[in-house]
Each structure stands twice: as structure tokens, then as C-alpha cells.
Amino acid sequence: MYRVLVAGALPQDALARLSAAAQVVQLLQPDEQSLCREVASCDGLVVRTHVRVSREVLAAGRRLRVVGVAGVGTDNVDTGAAAERGIAVLNTAAASSDAVAEFTVRQILRLLRPVEALSRQYAAGAFHELRDQPCGRELRELTVGIVGMGRIGSRVGRICAAGYGAHVLYNDIVEVGPFAFPAEPVDKPTIWSRCDIISLHVPLTPLTYRMVNADVLRCFRAGALLINTARGAVVDTSALVEALQEGRLGGAALDVTDPEPLPPDHPLFSCPNCLITPHIAARTAGALKRMFAIVDQVIEKLRETN
């Protein structure tokens, strides 16, 4: 019988399916030391995206044949070390595409039309004052720039262009498209300088690490909005804080940060035009169910390599 290590919590139905096909060992609070100890006798490893699977962990897995990540990215796994050892790395790339795309557009709309703040001001007695001034902007009047036009980015582009009539520009390192909605491929400098809204949908790699840095932020047009639902380290946090505090950006919406989680006294929490959520864009009931289907993929792969 296969032996599979589960690092972290999984719902009972996913655990039951895994237990029907394998002997399950579960670590609810995994660290590198405990992972190295337990993985030594396991054929498979299932992790969430916050659990780091280092070269040392992979080396300790003498029987290890497959690592399954319940999530979109695999940047928490040393994929180079896995390839050297012939260990397959699986993930659920499409599980949360719709959830993250919908959340991204919702955050754009929250920045354009600050409903929560308007509601608080109304409750404080500002009814007439609020009606006497513009309360936000329309997405159809703006240019949206999407960096990374894959599963999630293309969905964001479709909603913005076909749903709201926004002008969509995009950049990707591979040729993508054509799309069933109007979208114009451009280089990154054009995205930075021409877009009112810039939404990031790239994996974390050496090429994208701190891709949005101080120099890039200085190229943004005044009042631009930055949306990051990708990975926190794609943005230089210190440079972003400075741009927000100086008023060069109109606002930011961050579902991911660097570091993660942020300490309670982090200056980003003091920026009134910054919306911060705790990495939950993908956490709908449907998306989580699809992510946890990684257990089925792991069992299938183990059977293939038997």
C-alpha cells in the first residue's frame, strides 16, 4: 500500500479518498525538520501552498515519487531538485481561476467606487455633501493593463473588456491569444506608462521577483491603481509604501504581500488607499474543492509509476 504524507490540514472528504488508496501520515504543523523525518518512508507528499518543500526535504524522501500542491503555484517546491530526483510535482493550476479573476475585478471596483467609505460617511451625516460631488470613476472610461495573460489574467481581461467596456492592454512572456474580446498586446513599459489600472497575474520566478520596483512605480501614470493577486514578492513592498504615502498612486489592492503575513504595525495598513486581504482570493468553496482534488492526482500518479 502507498504511504502518503499530508503536510497541513485537508477536509475530511479529501482525506477519506486518500485513505482509501494509501496509508496516510498527517502533520498538522509541518516544519522542515518534521517533514524530513516523516517523508523518509513515504511515496507521496501532499502540501498546501504555504508549506515549503526544500531540497533537503526532497533529499530525505528516499521513496518519494510525487509531490502534490493543493493550489495554483509551485513556487513553494524546489522543482529543480525534484526534477533531479525524478519526483513529479503536481498542482491544481485551473482550480481557482474564476475565483481569483472575480475577486480581482471586485477589488478594482472597490478602489474606483469606495462604497464602504461612502457608507460610513453617510452614517456620519454627510448625505447631501456626498451627493454634491463625484463618487468614483467608471471602468469603461479607463485602460486596464494585465501582466500575465494566462488562465486568470485572460479572465480578468474578458470581464473588464466584454463586461465593462474597458480598454485592455496586456503583456506576457509567451505568445497568447487571440481572445474573444478586444485586447492589445504591448511591452511592459507601455503597461506601466499608459494604464490607469495594472493587474498582476504572474508566477513568482527569478524574472518576476520584485518586478514592480521603485523605478517601475515611477513610470506609472499619476493616480494609477495597482492590483496584486499573484505573489507578494512580485512587488517591492517598501517602494510601494513610498509611492502610496507620496500620493503618486491612486491606490492598491493586495491579496498577497511580502512578507506574508504582514506584522500588525506594517505601514501598508496605515495607507487609506490600500486594500489588503489575507491571501483569500482563491478561497471560495468551489475553488477549494477543486484544489483538494490534488489527492486524486497524487494517487493516480503513484499508480502510473508503480
Instruction: Tell me the C-alpha distance between 7 and 18, whole Å.
Output: 13
Instruction: Tell me the C-alpha distance between 248 and 222, whole Å.
Output: 5
Catalytic residue from among 116, 138, 260, 300: 260
- 231 catalytic per annotation: yes
Bridge partners of 170, per DSSP, are 146, 185
- 167 catalytic per annotation: no
Cell of 162: 466584454
Instruction: Tell me the C-alpha distance between 222 and 295, whole Å.
Output: 47
Q: State residue 116 phi and psi, 5-degree precision.
A: -60, -45
Bridge partners of 77, per DSSP, are 53
Instruction: Tell me the C-alpha distance between 205 and 293, whole Å.
Output: 25
| H-helix segments, 148-196 | 151-158, 164, 188-194
Task: Please list, in sequence order, all residues whose beta carbon lies within 8 angstroms of the beta carbon of residue 191, skipping any fewer than 6 positions away.
Answer: 145, 147, 169, 170, 171, 198
Instruction: Tell me the C-alpha distance between 240 and 158, whole Å.
Output: 27
Catalytic residue from among 65, 167, 231, 290: 231
Instruction: Tell me the C-alpha distance between 26 and 40, whole Å.
Output: 14
Task: Please list, in sequence order, all residues whose beta carbon lies within 8 angstroms of the beta carbon of residue 243, skipping any fewer than 6 positions away.
Answer: 214, 217, 220, 249
Q: State residue 136 phi and psi, 5-degree precision.
A: 110, 180
Q: Which residues are catalytic?
A: 231, 260, 279
